[in-house]
Homo-oligomer: A and B are copies of this chain.
Amino acid sequence: MSKHPSRAIGLPTIQRLPLYLRILREVRGEGVQSISTTRLSEALQVQPIMVRKDLAVTGVVGRPRIGYQVEELIDHIERFIGWRDTSSAFLVGVGNLGTALLGYRGFEENGLHIVAAFDTDTKKIGSSIHGRSVFSLDRLTDLVPRMRVRIGILTVPAACAQETADRMVAAGICAIWNFTPVFLEVPPDVIHHQENLASSLAVLSTRLRMQLDPA
């Protein structure tokens, strides 16, 4: 029961943990029992010391000469991230992106279960998309507490992002995963995490521009 230092875990570290997890699950599938940071660092193309530093935040302990027990390491990472037991989520906004996320398999293996979707379009309400019912947005207030859902995935058009977020908050959602390009204002106790394709594209575009036109 290692007590983590409780505060100030770096964001980069948290972002790398799922990358290790993916490799670990892969080698577990191959029957590998233990693994060294050297091996992990090769797969991810980072320095071994960084891997050790990252893994340390989960409280896992390795053995010199041997490395880490794969099973134990997976367990520690999953616990640290909060992926050990599945969280339920609602998805609001069944457009292109919303539909795609409903069909995405990767969430389940990372402890996220989208239990239902919401929209304001009467043509969509009552239908079922990738096995999940689409409810009227009006039902949110009712269903969030009843189904004890804490996570809301926001995939509505930018124009109604803030308004929809407000409704999520009012319904009792604890964390909003925001796929719109809008900077939301939410109360300080509500977790807000924004996904930003434009930022990501900018990295790609800038590199490409620099390669073609170094100046």
Main secondary structure of the interface of A (DSSP, over half): helix
Report how far A150 CA is from B136 CA in the complex, Å. Answer: 43
Report how far A87 CA is from B204 CA in the complex, Å. Answer: 11
Contact indicator per residue, chain A 62-90, by CB within 8 Å of chain B (1) or not (0): 00000000000000000011110001000
| Residues of chain B lying within 8 A (CB to CB) of residue A107 | 201
Interface size on A, residues (CB 8 A): 64
Q: Are A106 and B198 in contact (CB under 8 A)?
A: yes
Closest beta carbon of chain B to A74's beta carbon, Å: 14
- Measured CB to CB, the residues of A under 8 A from B are 3-4, 6, 9, 11, 14-19, 21-22, 43-45, 80-83, 87, 95-97, 99-101, 103-104, 106-107, 110-112, 130, 150-151, 174-175, 177, 181, 183, 189, 191, 193, 195-209, 211-212, 214-215
